[in-house]
Amino acid sequence: MKKNIIKFLICGTLGLASAFSTLFAQTKSIVIIFDGLRPDFINQEHMPNLFDLANKGSVALNSHSVFPTVTRLNSASLSTGSYPEKHGILGNTIHIADVDARKNYNTGNKSDLEIVKKQSKLGLLSNLTAAELLRQENKTLAVYSSGSSGQAFLQDPQEKGWTVNPEFIFPLSFRDSVFQTIASIESQKQPKFANHKWVVDAFLTFGLDKKPADITTVWLSEPDSKQHGFGIGSPEALEAIKFMDEQLGRILLAIKEKGLEDKVNVLVSADHGFITYAGEHTVKSMLEEEGFGDDLSNGKIVMADGAIFVKDKDQAKVERIVKLLQKQPWIGPIFTKSKNDTDLKGSVDGTFSFASIHWNHPDRAADILVTYSWDDAPNEFGYKGSAYNKSGGAAGHGGISSFEINTNLVLYGPSFKKAYQSTAPTSYIDIMPTLFSVLGVKNKHPMQGRVLAEFFKNKNVDANKVKQYIETAQNKEKNYTVELKFSEIDGHKYLDYGRRVK
């Protein structure tokens, strides 16, 4: 009897191993995103699992968010491997004039994005997503996200793959499977952080056992919300960071227990960094004080985050607004449209061009893009970085500081080098091109991101030929000087930060 039991267990284990071997015949990749995680929290104290993974795998020490450093713009950049100049999602709040000349749309809401998708002449995104490109090659991308419905939807807006989000699941047949297997969506509302655990439960059940995709994204929306509400390094934020690291630990343990360590790559990154808000002003309040209140109320000026749209592209009004902004000591670099797509300088003295930051979408770019001044001042918890705008919450992102642009990227698995670090610049838009290369998929619609070949196992790639430089712009009349710092490698230019010099 005992021998029969042992024989059954052995056969069962072999059968399970055989099943996983079939499911993972080709190397799969999992991209785990911790929304708003700054690199300075990746240490033994706060994130032991991620810290250990970074020591064992490859680390990109000069990783970048896409500017403007907001979540849904970066979600679109991840899903397309491209900058906003190509995909057309220019902020968390977007103004799509061919849909409504006076209205903005919240990219956090799937319902708002569906309106743009149906009514804009370009659709929602103006280039193809990785999900669409993979389907053309009979491969798959799956999305597991505890973030907003809009953030999840932007990764596969054609709704032909698998997406699990607390607000929606598609396809409907997959929704039924999730509910029957792990729980209903309502179960994620309480207790604290349950929504994140619910999403990870779904991934562990389907993403590793039943429906493993060639590329999977697992997007967890902390510590973003706790940092917004309580500050960088606050007890509430540190609690969220600890819980997120525990979810990573669950995923890594499951991979190990299923014997998939030589079949699965794990990449960990963040969509943006974070900075403390320490200012007393907003651009909107300044415009109202300077006599533009009527224009704002009647639609002659429309603001969407830091973007300003001027009706009929009135250049005189654009210049007047820019010069008013340049007088304010709390304003950082300002961007305007250039006369041609190669100019770094904008059309107004002292401004940079949209092209300099890959924001010059031909149909959706505003007339002005504004940032706020910042410096290294620490917050009450000792974490550096203060932006001088007045916004909701204790801290945030979206700006052009190094604290918001600098992110983390850890690469671990059979495709990547062990215990390796690189100072070559990388970006959020480089993730999908790199994973396409892992799959051996030749992208017929080139992405703007580069393949991060320097991290590939058994490849000796020189990633040291990095050029760094600073560009300046000034309006001497307004005593206003700003600069942008760039890193460049193999023809790919990365924005490190922008700041006001005086």
CATH number at 436 reads 3.40.720.10
Residue 450 lies in a domain: yes
Q: Are 377 and 270 in contact (CB under 8 A)?
A: no
Please report which confidence band the pLDDT of residue 21 belongs to, taking 50, 70 and 90 as the band edges. Answer: low
Q: Check whether 416 has a pLDDT greater than 90.
A: yes
**pLDDT score of 339:** 78
Beta-ladder partners of 406? 64
Percent of the chain topping pLDDT 90: 85
Residue 13 lies in a domain: no
Q: In terms of domains, do 315 and 430 share one?
A: no
- Rounded to 5°, angle at Cα 376 from 372 and 382: 120
The 10s digit of each residue's pLDDT in 444-501 is: 778 999 999 999 998 777 777 899 999 999 998 889 999 999 999 999 999 999 999 9
Q: In terms of domains, do 236 and 87 share one?
A: yes
Residue 9 lies in a domain: no
Q: Check whether 17 has a pLDDT greater than 60.
A: no
Closest C-alpha to 346, from 363, 321, 329, 328: 321
Residue 387 lies in a domain: no
Structural domains of the chain, count: 2
Q: In terms of domains, do 129 and 201 share one?
A: yes
Residue 154 lies in a domain: yes
Q: In terms of domains, do 89 and 151 share one?
A: yes
Beta-ladder partners of 220? 34
Q: In terms of domains, do 298 and 421 share one?
A: no
Q: Kindly give the residue spans of alpha helices, DSSP state H, lying in 337-430.
A: 402-405
The 10s digit of each residue's pLDDT in 160-189 is: 999 999 999 999 888 888 988 887 777 666
Q: Are 149 and 156 in contact (CB under 8 A)?
A: no
Please report which confidence band the pLDDT of residue 7 belongs to, taking 50, 70 and 90 as the band edges. Answer: very low
- Rounded to 5°, angle at Cα 415 from 411 and 417: 60
Q: In terms of domains, do 269 and 297 share one?
A: no
**pLDDT score of 445:** 77
The 10s digit of each residue's pLDDT in 341-364 is: 789 999 999 999 999 999 999 999
Residue 7 lies in a domain: no
Q: In terms of domains, do 305 and 229 share one?
A: no
**pLDDT score of 10:** 44
Range with the lowest mean pLDDT among 18-22, 57-61, 348-352, 382-386?
18-22
Percent of the chain topping pLDDT 70: 94
Q: Are 499 and 483 in contact (CB under 8 A)?
A: yes
User: 139: domain range?
Assistant: 22-276+399-455
Q: Pairing between strand 368-372 and 331-336? A: antiparallel
**pLDDT score of 192:** 84
380 phi/psi in degrees, rounded to 5? -65, -15
**pLDDT score of 210:** 79
Q: In terms of domains, do 119 and 177 share one?
A: yes
What CATH number is attached to the domain comprising 357?
Answer: 3.30.1360
**pLDDT score of 187:** 66
Q: Are 471 and 344 in contact (CB under 8 A)?
A: yes
Q: In terms of domains, do 336 and 248 share one?
A: no
Residue 256 lies in a domain: yes
Range 205-222 average pLDDT: 93
Q: In terms of domains, do 480 and 353 share one?
A: yes
Q: In terms of domains, do 165 and 261 share one?
A: yes
Q: Check whether 19 has a pLDDT greater than 80.
A: no
Range 224-245 average pLDDT: 98
Q: Check whether 52 has a pLDDT greater than 70.
A: yes
Token couple for 158: 């054609």
Q: In terms of domains, do 98 and 169 share one?
A: yes
Q: Are 131 and 155 in contact (CB under 8 A)?
A: yes
Amino acid at 265: N
